[in-house]
Chains A and B, each alone.
Chain A
Amino acid sequence: MTTRKVNIVKSADWITILLYLMLIFMGWFNIYAAVYNDEYNSIFDTTQRYGAQLLWIGLAIIIAFILFIVDNKAYHFFAYIIYGIVVFILVGVLFFGKEVNGARAWFELGPIGLQPAEFGKFATSLAIARFLSSFNLKIHKLENIVIILLVILTPAFLIILQNDTGSALVYLAFVFVLFREGLTPWVLIIGVVVLLLFFASLLLEPLTVLISLYVFTIILFRLNNNKALREILIATSVIFALSGVIWLVVYFFKLPINFYFSVVIAIFLAGVYFLFYAYKKNLKVVLLLIAFFAGSLIFSFSVNYVFDHVLQDHQQKRINVLLNRDVDVKSAGYNVHQSKIAIGSGGFYGKGYLKGTQTKFNFVPEQSTDFIFCTVGEEWGFLGSVTVVLLFVFLILRIIYMAERQRSVFGRVYGYSVASILFVHFAVNIGMTIGLAPVIGIPLPFFSYGGSSLWAFTILLFIFVRLDASRMELF
C-alpha cells in the first residue's frame, strides 16, 4: 500500500466541522435557556450548567484538535487496543462506578463525572471497522458473525448491566453498518416487521392482526408469482369455509372457543394442507411464506405475554405512554405530556429566546439533558425545530456521503458507524420529545448538557473527519 502526502487542513471536510460547531453552540444557547434564572447571570459561572457546558465545549474543541493532528493510520492500528481498554473500563465501572438514578454508570474524577458508556460507541465503531476491513472478509460466515456479534454485544451487555438499557439500545445502530457491508436485508425487514407486529399486537384486536397478516402474506406471494390468483382465491375461500364450519360446530356444541380461535384453527388446518401441497410441488416460496405467516402469528400471540411478563413496569409504562394507552399525565406520562406542551405551545415562530414559560419555570424534567429539544420547540417554534431536524439530517447524510468516498473499507465502515449512531440518537431523542418514540433516556448529540456525551460524540465524529481528510493518501 503506497501513500502520498496531502494537506489535511485543506482536505478536511469543513462542512462537517461547520455543522458540528453550529450544533454545539445552538445546543449551548438552549441549555442556557433551559437552566436560566435571574439569580445567576454570568455565563462563565461553572456552578450553573451553561457555565459548565461552556467549559466542556472548550475541552471538546481541544480534543477535536488533538484527534486531528494524530496520524490517521493510528486509528486503524490502535482500534482493537482502544476497544479493549474501553471494555475494560466498562467492566470497571460495574465495580467502582458511582450510582446515579439507579444506574451504576459513572466514574467520578474530582468534580467531573465521566460516563464510560458514551465512549463505548466510538471504540466499538473502530473495532467493527477494523474487523470488517479484514482482507476478503465474508460477512455471512458463521465465525465472522459470531465475532461481529461479540464485538457489538459485549459493550452493549456491559451497559445493560449498568442498568442503562437506553444507551445499550444504541448498539442496534450497527445493523445499518452491517447492512451496508452486505448483511442480508432480511435482518432489516424482519426487524421492521417485528417492530410493526409488536405495536400492532398491542394496539389492535387479534382478529384484525390476523387478517392483516393474511393479506400481507398474500401480497408477498402475489409479488413473487403473479399467476397465482386462482390459488389465492381457492385458499382464501377454503379458509373461509373451514372457519364457518368450525364456528358452527363450536356454536352447536357450545364449546368454550371464540370466533377468533375458530379462524385460527381453520387457518392452521388449511396451512397443514398447503404445506403438504407446496412440499409436493416443491414451491419453496410458499413454504417460506407459510413459515413467515406462522412465525408472525406466534410472535403476535407472545407479544402480549412478553409485554405483561417480561418487560419491567417502567418499560411497560413508557410503551403505554407512546401508544396513548391509559396514560396518567401526572406520573408516567408526565414528561412526554409536558414536553409536547412545551413544543406544541411554541407555535410557528416560537415564544422567543428565554421567553418559554414551560422552559423557564421547569415544567419539563431533564430539560437541559434528554429533553433539550423542548427548549428549541418552545422558544424557536416550528421554524427552529425544523432547522435543527434539517441540520441533523444534513450532517448525517453528509457523513454517509463522506463514508462512500472513502478509499478504505475501514474508513467507510467507520463513517457508517458514525452516521448510524448519530441517527439512532437523533431519531430516538427527538422522537421521544414529540411523542413518536418511547421515553428512552439518551442524549441529543452535541445539544444535550453533559461533558461525557459531548466529548464522546466529538471523538466519534472527529476521528472520521481525520480519516476523511487523509482519504486521498490511499491509492
Chain B
Amino acid sequence: MKNKFESRQYVIGGIIIFIAIAFIIQLFLLQVVDTAYKVSADNNVFRYVTEYPGRGLIMDRNGKLLVYNEVAYDLEVVPNFMRSFDTLELCSILDISKEKLVEGVQKAKQYSAYKPSVVVKQISSKKYAILQETLYKFPGFAVRTRTLRKYPEPIAAHVLGYVGEVNDKIIKSDKYYKSGDYIGISGIERSYEKEVRGRKGVKIYLVDVHNSIKGSYKDGTFDTASIVGANITTTLDAELQSYGEKLMQNKIGSIVALEPSTGEILALITSPSYNSNLLVGQERTKNYMMLQDDKLKPLFNRALMARYPPGSTFKLVNALVGLQEGIITTNSAFSCNGGYHVGSFTVGCHHGGSIDFLHSIQGSCNSYYCNVFQRILDDKKYGKVSVAYNNWRRHLASFGIGRKLEIDLSSELSSFVPTSEYYDKIYGKDKWKSLWIISMAIGQGELGVTPIHMANLTATIANRGYYVIPHIIKSIEGKKSIDPKYLEKHYTTIDRKYFDPVVDGMELVITSGTATRARLPGVAICGKTGTAENPHGTDHSIFVAFAPKNNPKIAIAVYIENGGFGSTWAAPIASLMIEKYLNDTISRPLMEEGMVNANLINEKKQ
C-alpha cells in the first residue's frame, strides 16, 4: 500500500546514514589518527617498577671494608592512582607533618602524574613495618626499598666522598637518572660512580583499575635485571689512614702518603674531617648545613685543594734544576754571611762562611738557593730572564707542579706557579729582574703547592726521576686492569744522576740536619723541612720525606697550618707515619703521645 509520504523514507534513511558516517569519521579520528589514546592506555596498565641495585662495596688495599650498604625504605606515590585517604593517619604512621606530606605530593604531581616519585625518604624499618600493613588504605602509595651507605669506621671521609640525590640538572643531562635516584657527589663515589652504582633494573607489570598487579608484561621479556655495583678496592691503607687522622686531631692541615713506585695513595688525610655517617639518612641536609657552617671548614679537602707556599722543601727542586742546567755542581759552594745580600736587599739566613751543596740541603741555607735561583734566571744562554724563567717552570711541570696531575679524585686543584706573563703584567714586559722574584728560591712568594703535589714531588725524588700519577683505585671487581694512565711512568726533565746527591742531602737532614727529631733507628729516612710564611699568622709547619732511602716504600708530605717550624710538628708526625707503615709498631710512644695530644687549633684562635 503506497501513500503520499513514501518519499520520507529517504529522509529517515539519510539521517541514519548521516549518523553512521559521523561515527565512522569519529572512530577513524580516535583509532587511526590520534595516537595519544594508545599512550594513555599504556599509562593505565603498565607499571614500571625500578629495582635499585646496591652500590658496590669499597675496601682498603688489604681488603678491609670501608663502605657497605644498609637497607632503607622510601615512600613513593603515583599521583594518578591516588584516591582520597586519611592524611592524618598516614602522617601519624610516618611521624611527619601534614604540610610535608602535602608538599611532597604536590612535587610528585609536578614531576609526573603516572610515574612514581618519592614523597618521604628513608623510613625506618620500624615505621615501615606498620606502614606495610596499612598501605592498602592509601591507594597510589608504595614503598620502594633502597640501600644507604654505611661506614664501619668513620675514616677517610674526603676520599670516600658521599652520595646524594640527583638534581634537576643531572636528570636533564643524563637519561640514566630519574628523580629521587642517588649519585656519587664527591670522592670515590663520584669518580667511580659508573662502576660503583651498578645498573638499575626495570620490571614491567600489568595493573588493573585498582592498581593491583595482574602479572608481568609478556612474561618479563622486556624486563631488565638490576646489576649490583662493582666492589672497589682502593689503594688506601686503612690503618695508616686511621693513624694519621688520629695524629692530626686538633690540628689543621693535611698528610698525603704515596707508594712511590706505583703512585698509589696510601693515606690522604685532611684535618679537620667529619664522620661520613653524618651525610647519610634523614638528618643529612641538617648535618650538611652544620658542616658547611663550621669555621674550620671540615668539608674542605685540604689535601687536594689547599695551596700552601712550599717553603724550604722547594729548595730540593731548585737544587735539581740548578744541577741539570749546569748552574752548580755538587762541588759548588756559596758564602752565607747571615743571609743573601744584594745592596740593601737581604734574605735572612743563619749560616756563616762557605756552604757546600750537601750542607745547603742539610742546613736549608737560604743564601745558597737565592744564589742558585738568581743564576738560573740570569743564565746567559737563555738571554732574557723570562726565557730562563719559563725553562725553570718547564722543569717544575715535569714534576707535576703548576698543573693538574689528573688524579682520580675530582676535587684536585692545580698548584700555582706564576707564568712569565703574570710578571709581565705586573712589572711590564721583560722589565722584571731575577732579584724581584727571588723569594721563590726558598719556596715563598706567589707559589702555591697542594699537599698531594708536594707528596708527588717527594715520590719523584724517591724514584730518582719519575712518578706515576697518584691514584686511589687499586682494582675494580670484574675489570682486569685499572685505567692505564695510572700505570704509566712520567719521567722528569732532570737526569737520574742529579737525584743521588739531593737524596744524600735529604738523608743528612734527618741524621744531622734540620729534622733530627724525625730520626727513626733502623730506617734510612730522607726528608726536608719547610717553614712557610703566611700572611694569616704563625708559619705553616711542613715536612716531606721518603723511606727507606733505597727502594723507597713510602713518600709523605705533612702540612700543619700555623704549626711553626717544619721540624716542630710536621717532621715527627711524618716520622711516626713512616714507622707505622713500615714497622707497624710505634717505638716512640712519648713522641706519639705528644703529637696526638697537641692542640694547635686553640693557638690559632688565640
A residues neighboring B (CB under 8 Å): 176, 179-182, 185, 338, 340-348, 357-358, 360-363, 377-378, 381-382, 385-386, 389-390, 392-393, 396-397, 400, 403-404, 406-409, 412, 416, 419-420, 423, 427, 430-431, 434-436
Query: Would you call B13 and A344 a contact (CB within 8 A)?
Result: no
Query: Would you call A341 and B40 a contact (CB within 8 A)?
Result: yes
Query: Would you call B40 and A427 a contact (CB within 8 A)?
Result: no
Residues of B within 8 A of A435 (CB): 26, 30
B24 at interface, CB cutoff 8 A: yes
The segment from B31-39, B60-68, B311-319, B526-534 found at the interface with A is: B31-39
Interface string of B30-58 (1 = CB under 8 A from A): 11101011101110110000000000000
Cα–Cα distance between A36 and B206 once the two chains are bound (Å): 16
The 3 A-B residue pairs whose C-beta atoms are closest, nearest first, are: A344-B37, A345-B41, A361-B208
Residues of A within 8 A of B206 (CB): 357, 361
Given A343-B27, A382-B32: A363 and B44 interface contact (C-beta under 8 Å): yes
Residues of A within 8 A of B4 (CB): 182
Query: Would you call A181 and B37 a contact (CB within 8 A)?
Result: no
Q: How many B residues are at the interface, by size bracket?
A: 35 or more
Cα–Cα distance between A348 and B31 once the two chains are bound (Å): 6
Query: Would you call B41 and A342 a contact (CB within 8 A)?
Result: yes
Across the interface, A393 reaches (CB within 8 A) one of B8, B20, B44, B209, namely B20
B101 at interface, CB cutoff 8 A: no
Query: Would you call A358 and B20 a contact (CB within 8 A)?
Result: no
Cα–Cα distance between A373 and B279 once the two chains are bound (Å): 57
B11 at interface, CB cutoff 8 A: yes
Cα–Cα distance between A347 and B8 once the two chains are bound (Å): 38
Residues of A within 8 A of B132 (CB): none
Cα–Cα distance between A392 and B17 once the two chains are bound (Å): 11
Across the interface, B41 reaches (CB within 8 A) one of A341, A408, A420, A423, namely A341
Q: Is the interface of B mostly helix, strand, loop or mixed?
A: helix
B437 at interface, CB cutoff 8 A: no
Q: List 9 interface pairs A-B (beta carbons < 8 Å), by A numbering.
A: A341-B41, A344-B34, A345-B42, A361-B45, A361-B207, A385-B31, A389-B23, A397-B16, A419-B12
Residues of B within 8 A of A346 (CB): 31
Given A344-B38, A345-B38, A408-B1: A434 and B44 interface contact (C-beta under 8 Å): no
Cα–Cα distance between A341 and B34 once the two chains are bound (Å): 10
B436 at interface, CB cutoff 8 A: no
B590 at interface, CB cutoff 8 A: no
Residues of A within 8 A of B41 (CB): 341-342, 344-345, 357-358, 378
Closest A residue to B10 by beta carbon equals A400
Cα–Cα distance between A470 and B23 once the two chains are bound (Å): 35
Query: Would you call B27 and A427 a contact (CB within 8 A)?
Result: no
B residues neighboring A (CB under 8 Å): 1, 3-6, 8-9, 11-13, 15-17, 19-20, 22-24, 26-28, 30-32, 34, 36-38, 40-42, 44-45, 206-209, 214
Cα–Cα distance between A378 and B20 once the two chains are bound (Å): 19
Cα–Cα distance between A357 and B204 once the two chains are bound (Å): 14
Q: A361-B214, A407-B1 are in contact. List 6 more A-B contacts (CB 8 A).
A: A340-B37, A343-B31, A348-B32, A360-B214, A404-B6, A427-B19
Closest A residue to B46 by beta carbon equals A357
Across the interface, B5 reaches (CB within 8 A) one of A180, A377, A392, namely A180
Cα–Cα distance between A406 and B3 once the two chains are bound (Å): 12
Query: Would you call B37 and A345 a contact (CB within 8 A)?
Result: yes
Shortest beta-carbon distance, B106 to chain A, in Å? 17
Query: Would you call B13 and A400 a contact (CB within 8 A)?
Result: yes
Residues of A within 8 A of B38 (CB): 344-345, 347
Residues of B within 8 A of A412 (CB): 1
Cα–Cα distance between A140 and B228 once the two chains are bound (Å): 86
Shortest beta-carbon distance, A140 to chain B, in Å? 13
Across the interface, B209 reaches (CB within 8 A) one of A363, A390, A406, namely A363
Query: Would you call A404 and B23 a contact (CB within 8 A)?
Result: no
Cα–Cα distance between A193 and B47 once the two chains are bound (Å): 48
Given A341-B44, A362-B208, A377-B31: A386 and B16 interface contact (C-beta under 8 Å): no
Cα–Cα distance between A419 and B19 once the two chains are bound (Å): 14
Residues of A within 8 A of B34 (CB): 344
Shortest beta-carbon distance, A426 to chain B, in Å? 8
Query: Would you call A347 and B23 a contact (CB within 8 A)?
Result: no
Residues of B within 8 A of A361 (CB): 44-45, 206-209, 214
Query: Would you call A434 and B30 a contact (CB within 8 A)?
Result: yes
Query: Would you call B44 and A436 a contact (CB within 8 A)?
Result: no
Query: Would you call A386 and B32 a contact (CB within 8 A)?
Result: no
Given A345-B40, A393-B20, A434-B23: A180 and B8 interface contact (C-beta under 8 Å): yes
Residues of A within 8 A of B26 (CB): 434-436
Query: Would you call B40 and A182 a contact (CB within 8 A)?
Result: no
Cα–Cα distance between A7 and B159 once the two chains are bound (Å): 100
Residues of A within 8 A of B214 (CB): 360-361
Closest A residue to B217 by beta carbon equals A357
Across the interface, B16 reaches (CB within 8 A) one of A185, A378, A423, A434, namely A423
Cα–Cα distance between A408 and B17 once the two chains are bound (Å): 26
Residues of B within 8 A of A179 (CB): 8, 11-12
Residues of A within 8 A of B5 (CB): 180-182
Residues of A within 8 A of B9 (CB): 180, 400, 403-404
Given A404-B9, A436-B22: A347 and B209 interface contact (C-beta under 8 Å): no
Residues of A within 8 A of B30 (CB): 340, 343-344, 377, 434-435
Cα–Cα distance between A357 and B215 once the two chains are bound (Å): 12
Query: Would you call A180 and B27 a contact (CB within 8 A)?
Result: no
Given A382-B28, A382-B31, A423-B16: A409 and B23 interface contact (C-beta under 8 Å): no
Cα–Cα distance between A157 and B129 once the two chains are bound (Å): 58
Given A358-B44, A382-B28, A382-B32: A176 and B23 interface contact (C-beta under 8 Å): no
